[in-house]
Structure 1
Amino acid sequence: MLSSSGVLCVKRFDSVHTCGAAVRTSRNPRAGSDLVSTVVADRERDKPLTRPTDVVFDLKNEYGLDISYRVAWLGVEKARGEVYGDHATSFDQLRWYSNSVMQKNPNSYINLEFDQKTGSFVRHFISFRACIDGLNHCRPMLFLDGTFLKGRFKGNLLAAAAKDANQGLFPVAFAIVDSENSANWEWFLRNLKEVVGGGRTLTFISDRHVGLLHSMPIIFPSAHHAYCLLHLQINLRDRMKYVNASYKIGLMRKLRECAYAPTVTCFNEKLEVLKKANPAVIEDFMKYLHPKHWSNAYFRGQRYREMCSNAAESFNNWVSEARHLPIMRLIDMIRGQIMEQMSERRVKCSKWAGVISPKMEKKLAAACNDSRAWCVSQANDDVYEVHSHPSMLVDVGKQTCSCFQRQINGFPCSHAVVAFRNSGRNIYGAIDSAFCIDTFRATYSGTIYPIPIVGRPLFNPAECLIAPPIGPNGREFHPMGR
């Protein structure tokens, strides 16, 4: 250091290191999990699904460090613990979180269960008030499904979702349970009943889990239970081993034609074709599969042409990153995603004009184009004959069509559109209010308020009431066999 100017001047440089640094390899303790945790902590905040294999590659590529998968895994786990909190202590923090939700979002519904003797977590159900209110403006139809959790203690996420007026996913309720079994589905449905109320006749669409088959008629006796067509097709495919793929696809297509058949007569014709293709397999497959749960011809509820439980599966994909987090952060991350979605759609619909939502307006325009060349004959003020191929009878007063698509879909078919056009009546008056823009706005009029983590009290082992779940061997789960 030059005293006159205060400038540091290097007069000699020795390139030989004496600080003890060495080449770091997987056998060198200097490249341990603490170092990995420090390096990947910022990355974990931006990308919760950071994989140990990516860390091994990146540390080698960027720093020339050779580390084992185990070291990378431990480092990622430590980083997640620093960023999101420890998996084990997160269960007890559900007490604070549940109280905070009820304070910030009054009249939400939460049910937290834990074993009073062992203190072990059992299950947790949550539905935010804004979701409960929004459901009243969605179609009376709920999609049910479950998915695996991928955090340290595993478990399953059960969810119920609806669709809004623009056919967008609308989460209603979800729960964390130890497994997707009959007892947990029954518990989920009993809690869900507290949320949805009994003012409307509901239609449920599910993958036909045995727990739902047993519990649905008991808990929702007046509801209609529709089976997911995609799962039925997969179940049929899996019954046929040692059969070539094209043959399986052909049978699945024939089953689909049966499901979409609009009348009983048409259904029976399609079913005969399906049975002739493979009598033994189809007879066994249909033994306990009543068509009232999967065929349009026999289904007595309103499913709005929703043949699959795609909304629930979309919800599972939507929360895929959250499934890796500690339970409290998992729930809060899902809350944050629902909160942001509701806010974004509330802003989006403020710019819409017209009567029905944009997606349904496009469907209506497509129906108008399809019917543009058809001629119409009038029988009386309400009844019209549409000369399509074949011709159809439309009653604009009763809002029915002999093609049955109007009744099945809950939305005007091409025949109904051209009949309304010739009658001089407003076609929008024949559209279910569930597809209207005003309904969409009402769906997202509520607000889910944030839960500031800054107010969370520090974990105190002496005050801990809820411990992690107990494993099948009667002991607490531990990662990597520790």
Structure 2
Amino acid sequence: MMVNDANKPSLVKGTVYPNMKVFRLAVRQFAINEEFELWVKATDRKKYVGACKGASDCPWHVNGRRQADERTVMVLFFLMSLTFSLLCYFLYFALMPCFICFNLQVTKFTNYHTCTSSGRRKTTTPTSAWVASKAIHILRTDSGMGPKELQKRLQEDQKCKINYDTVAKGRSLAMIQLQGSWEENFHMLYRWRAAVMERSPGSVIEIDTIEVDGKVYFNRFFCALSPWITGFLTGCRPYLSVDSTALNGLWKGHLASAIAIDGNNWMYPIAFGFFDAETTDNWTWFMIQLLKAIGKVSPLAICTDACKGLEIAVHRVFPWAGHRECFNHLTQNLIKKYGGSVFQEMYPVARSYRAQVHEECMDTIKKACTDVALWLDTYHKLIWYRSGFNAEIKCDYVTNNLAECFNNWIRDIKALPICELADTCREMIMTLWNRRRRIGNKFTGTILPAILHQLRARTRGLGHLSVVHADITTAEVWDNSSSHARHVVRTHEQSCTCQEWQHTSKPCQHALAVIAS
């Protein structure tokens, strides 16, 4: 009889398996189910001899032999008596030539052990091949599951202890079966690129290679599909958040991304790419491909972290763009360098829209530590404060959180092979666009519901502001709180002397007080 149940295999004599590989896995699964340690005494393409390793006198024994069809394997011996085993070995090798199918039937069958259970200790019974056979069904639906989580899952399901290294190797084997080898994935990128370019003309997909000793190797990759580019140019603010995150698969490279922001303040991925390390050369190549995709957008703001080589690359490829620096990284470096609670005053420095307020707050910092200004001018020359932003960008973000959100969004797929990673990113973005399209189709009016909700909420709690109208479009707003500040609002120009309306394109609290009056 042919056996198909891989979880509860049968080793009754006469049982037939399709090939030696399946038979070996079946014997291991049987040993794990019965909680004993398997000892493979001999195995090759034609025969298999297994015994119990638990005790020297344990009689459990199994023997399999490939049949005359050169494919199927039949259980010839499944013996529990050492004396009877030796007798059957003699009969097997003496009588084998007389049988066409090499099928020896055993008249007596006794199934018992004299050893203790191995279920509570780590043994050599679970191999990487066995782990791969069990993991492939799990990883097919959750390819991002790591070795540690997979080890816990298999130990709970199989009721046995498995070494971590065995699980890690088995997981790699299973991923190769599911996705192909890493070498194959690098070659598959070209076919993937051809298929995508055929369905999405106008996309920018570049594969860069290097030649070493006459052999061509993958070097870096860039992808910006046509719909992403069009959406950025027609519906997003001219602002890009650029960053990279380390990959944790067999290829220890980096995934770089360029993320914009749409009208609903949602992240809008424009492009992503892969390279081996954060270097000036790699970042310059990435930015050149990005320029090829979006063109010379002006005005433009690019926000980055302290990525190696990225500052130089942005200056080389986008010299006209306003280059912003993530304020979070700046403050972390500042606190490490100097420390002290006074540096909490850095937040008003960064978030003030007016240059006058910025300078006043900086004076407080300089009085606490005279070296801060020199340190900022030396190591943080980029724009990290709102008063230095170009108001035409209409984005007042002082952090690089958009790119960080994207990195967090793809964290579960960073172990995938290159081609699979590229296609999964494409699929995730496509699914995201489809979901947002369905949401957008339900919108009515000319202002997004989220923006209306924010503005209506901000009209409350403005009792400290007094409004004096000059005419139908101009008013003077007094702040009766401790600051006693005074601002002029011109609704026809969508401006306020506090500068917030100009930078965000959303009415500030002073403008809202005028509008609600």
TM-score by length of structure 2 reads 0.72
CA apart distance, 1:115: 1.6
The answer as to whether partners of 1:370 and 1:414 remain within 8 angstroms in 2 is: no
The answer as to whether partners of 2:236 and 2:263 remain within 8 angstroms in 1 is: yes
Kindly provide the amino acid, as one letter, of the partner of residue 198 in structure 2.
Q
Which string of whole-angstrom CA distances, capped at 9 and with x for unpartnered residues, describes residues 175-220 of structure 1? 1001111111111111100111224311111114352322223311
Which string of whole-angstrom CA distances, capped at 9 and with x for unpartnered residues, describes residues 267-289 of structure 1? 12111111222333553244343
Q: Match for 2:128 among 33, 39, 47?
A: 33
Kindly provide the amino acid, as one letter, of the partner of residue 300 in structure 1.
N
Judging changes above 3 Å, is the alpha-carbon distance between structure 1 residues 252 and 375 closer, same or farther for their aligned structure 2 residues? closer
Aligned to 2:241: 143
Where relative contact order (Cα < 8 A, 6+ residues apart) is larger, the structure is: 1
Kindly provide the amino acid, as one letter, of the partner of residue 308 in structure 1.
T
CA apart distance, 1:266: 1.4
| 1:105 has 2:200 as partner | yes
Kindly provide the amino acid, as one letter, of the partner of residue 149 in structure 1.
L
Q: Residues of 1 paired with 2:334 and 2:413: CA distance?
A: 33
Gaps of 5+ in 1: 1-12, 423-482
| 1:46 has 2:141 as partner | yes
CA apart distance, 1:48: 1.9
Residue aligned with 2:271, SS: strand
Q: Match for 2:185 among 71, 79, 90?
A: 90
The answer as to whether partners of 2:386 and 2:398 remain within 8 angstroms in 1 is: no
After TM superposition, the structure 1 = structure 2 runs for residues 348-387 of structure 1, keeping only pairs within 5 Å, are 348-371=439-462, 374-387=465-478
The answer as to whether partners of 1:50 and 1:76 remain within 8 angstroms in 2 is: no
Aligned to 2:226: 129
The answer as to whether partners of 1:275 and 1:283 remain within 8 angstroms in 2 is: no
CA apart distance, 1:309: 0.7
Aligned to 1:215: 313
Kindly provide the amino acid, as one letter, of the partner of residue 223 in structure 1.
A
CA apart distance, 1:154: 1.0
Q: Residues of 1 paired with 2:458 and 2:486: CA distance?
A: 16
Q: Select the structure of larger CA radius of gyration.
A: 2
The answer as to whether partners of 2:325 and 2:383 remain within 8 angstroms in 1 is: yes
Q: Residues of 2 paired with 1:261 and 1:338: CA distance?
A: 35
The answer as to whether partners of 1:261 and 1:297 remain within 8 angstroms in 2 is: yes
Q: Match for 1:265 among 346, 350, 356?
A: 356
Judging changes above 3 Å, is the alpha-carbon distance between structure 1 residues 59 and 296 closer, same or farther for their aligned structure 2 residues? closer
Kindly provide the amino acid, as one letter, of the partner of residue 297 in structure 1.
S
Q: Residues of 2 paired with 1:112 and 1:170: CA distance?
A: 23
Aligned to 1:166: 264
Kindly provide the amino acid, as one letter, of the partner of residue 225 in structure 1.
H
Kindly provide the amino acid, as one letter, of the partner of residue 129 in structure 1.
S
Aligned to 1:118: 215
Q: Residues of 1 paired with 2:446 and 2:497: CA distance?
A: 27
| 1:298 has 2:391 as partner | no
CA apart distance, 1:77: 0.8
Q: Residues of 2 paired with 1:326 and 1:199: CA distance?
A: 33
CA apart distance, 1:337: 0.3
Q: Residues of 1 paired with 2:510 and 2:408: CA distance?
A: 37
Q: Match for 1:317 among 408, 432, 449?
A: 408
The answer as to whether partners of 2:394 and 2:502 remain within 8 angstroms in 1 is: no
Percent identity between the aligned chains? Answer: 26
| 1:256 has 2:347 as partner | yes
Judging changes above 3 Å, is the alpha-carbon distance between structure 1 residues 68 and 257 closer, same or farther for their aligned structure 2 residues? same
Q: Residues of 1 paired with 2:417 and 2:270: CA distance?
A: 22
Aligned to 1:235: 333
The answer as to whether partners of 1:49 and 1:324 remain within 8 angstroms in 2 is: yes
The answer as to whether partners of 1:305 and 1:409 remain within 8 angstroms in 2 is: yes
| 1:277 has 2:368 as partner | yes
Q: Residues of 2 paired with 1:111 and 1:21: CA distance?
A: 60
Judging changes above 3 Å, is the alpha-carbon distance between structure 1 residues 31 and 212 closer, same or farther for their aligned structure 2 residues? closer
Aligned to 2:494: 399
Larger strand proportion, structure 1 or 2?
A: 2
Aligned to 2:427: 336
Aligned to 1:428: none
The answer as to whether partners of 1:127 and 1:174 remain within 8 angstroms in 2 is: yes
Q: Residues of 1 paired with 2:394 and 2:245: CA distance?
A: 23
The answer as to whether partners of 1:227 and 1:308 remain within 8 angstroms in 2 is: yes
The answer as to whether partners of 1:109 and 1:126 remain within 8 angstroms in 2 is: yes
TM-score by length of structure 1 reads 0.78
Residue aligned with 2:140, SS: helix
Q: Residues of 1 paired with 2:116 and 2:441: CA distance?
A: 61
CA apart distance, 1:340: 0.4
Q: Match for 2:294 among 193, 196, 205?
A: 196
Residue aligned with 2:161, SS: coil
Judging changes above 3 Å, is the alpha-carbon distance between structure 1 residues 106 and 17 closer, same or farther for their aligned structure 2 residues? farther
Residue aligned with 1:31, SS: coil
Provide the alpha-carbon RMSD of the alignment: 2.4
Aligned to 1:465: none
Q: Match for 1:55 among 150, 153, 157?
A: 150
Q: Residues of 1 paired with 2:306 and 2:461: CA distance?
A: 36
Gaps of 5+ in 2: 1-107
Judging changes above 3 Å, is the alpha-carbon distance between structure 1 residues 299 and 163 closer, same or farther for their aligned structure 2 residues? closer
Q: Residues of 2 paired with 1:305 and 1:370: CA distance?
A: 23
